Structure 1
């Protein structure tokens, strides 16, 4: 119940946006424009907004285009061949084919088909109702965009949640791999590898949140200043993705080394634990002023310890790979804090 309540709470503002947009779209289409029963205006408003913050402007364009294609194809054909079961088959197939040829977007194709059905069954050929429906769709979509701009959701908060989830998973993978090396248990290393391989949905969710955040910041004047912050999160998302890929390689090599009973210095497990803690520091500093600077030092500490270790120790083949991946992850994390690749490499060498 708690998870369900949290889900409702997180969706409260998008739900409010949809409700207000639906009522306002009906009012505009019915009372101001004068259309009789403009049911599609509120439907279009709700579809254009939805609970997802991503691609709202594209949804509006697909909605209006789909309705227009369906009405045009339906009106042209039904006026020539009449209405009936086989006519509906032909009209829907042709309207959806035109929509697929034009773009292929799911919403566009679905609206083309449903609008063609409406023309074939309810609207007389040549009747203004088809054109009115196109106008209603446009009204609903535009009202949805206006409401999204006037009552905007915070574009950064979903991005922060996604970034925290991804970084937490990265920290867990590194810690789990370190534990596996410490106790020499390949089963633990395999669990770390499986977690790393299963992390792609977290990366996809973060990128989706970023697209939605950029869109909100573009539409809503209140959040225009957040675009720079979103740009920083875009950098972080890209580097965190690379870091997770390197963590997969690291976990796979650790797993194989343990299976083959290859040696692994205890200091490697400690270094992975420190790197996991450094990721945790980066996560805790998200959204704070000066977070980029504060998050770098723990990562550089790991690099320094790895350098000291390499000076007094001759690593085996698997150990060399693990150290190389550890340094690669450290490089990715430093870039996630805003350093360029050159700056990050310079900091690691110093």
Structure 2
């Protein structure tokens, strides 16, 4: 046990080497089924998992794998050589635990061997190990997307001051960043004072922009987490989201135009607000797909660029567009 702990301490705790178990069943390809079963009776109890048996050479290099089921249903005198699957899916000890979890999701194995740079087997990562990794990573991503600092304690076990500490930094950051929104409004206060009705549409525009940006950022972050979206796919993603934003924006703008016209009987106002809504949706989609990919390029967790930060940026952009259009089109007209 002490040796296993020392082996694990050599690796980053968030890599395959840090979460692996060093107990596994290693056999030689010259063995028969009977010899293998007898070997299991003696050493199998020390293994973390018996789903697979790993074939190593005299230097400990991983050569193949055999499912225990094949051994159990084969005649005692048969050699295991023909049963060996040499097309082994393994992971390097320095592979990030999130990447390991994606490999488990792709292949559905009960365990995966961990090797060093020379393919020498070091241990195995089991599905149970990955379950805890996925739970931990999902919790961290949810906290980042909600602008919360990570905590190892459960909610009911965390004190009031501990919970406040988790939240206050990001709340302060977002509060201060919202100052830009106030500055934009101050820059157009004469226009807003002269046409008060313009202020009534600001919450709708900001909420729509924030929601649209959050929608796309959630999909992009999920796609990157699952390995479906790479940095090289940025322009594909951008082109797709521009088309989506045009469709969504036109529909929302058309409905909004009718709503403002019916309730306010003011076509220029309806056109101004609807045009601002269309541009807001387009901008929010672009920001929502761009920021997570920039974060990944800068080696920052893309989850940090989720709802609160995107909403703050989109609020400032949508407000700028709306008030500029209102001044240019509606008030001057």
Which of these two proteins has the greater Rg computed from alpha carbons? 2
Greater share of residues in helix: 1
Bigger proportion of residues as strand: 2
Q: What's the TM-score, normalizing by structure 2? A: 0.29
Normalising to structure 1: TM-score of the pair? Answer: 0.28
